[in-house]
Amino acid sequence: MSVRGVRGAITVDVNEKEAILKATVQLLQNIVQDNEIKPEDIASVFVTVTGDLDDVFPAVAIRQLPGWELVPLMCALEVPIKGSLEKCIRLMVLVNTDKRQDEIKHVYLGGAQTLRPDLSAKS
């Protein structure tokens, strides 16, 4: 078994609590479903947001999901690069798995598909 990183990102239209929480859950659920992950297999989740999203910590949404109460979560601000994607939530889910690196399915939704068009099969 190895620890693998599963990346994902999603954008929101507005800096509002409900939009941020809903998008965070949507992104996490896609990552979990696509990679057949159970919360007890997760080492930690690292969450970043762009500086224009300051209405709520995205980790609040994750913490409220059944079975996720004990998963270590950490939030941080994304590096503020001029011209970078706005209103973006990113996740790095570190999971204990038998999957090979090339079997991991990264998830990019909404406007975040522009970050990794090579990995953005979903919309």
Active-site positions read 7, 63, 75, 78, 90, 108, 116
Which tokens hold the place of 94? Answer: 């570190």
Give the Cα-Cα-Cα angle 108, 1, 116 (nearest 5 degrees): 15
Backbone CA torsion sign across 5, 6, 9, 15:
negative
Backbone CA torsion sign across 43, 110, 55, 53:
positive
User: Can you point out the beta strands (E) in the chain?
Assistant: 2-11, 42-49, 73-77, 88-97, 107-108
Query: In this structure, what are the phi and psi dihedrals at residue 55, rounded to the nearest 5 degrees?
Result: -85, -25
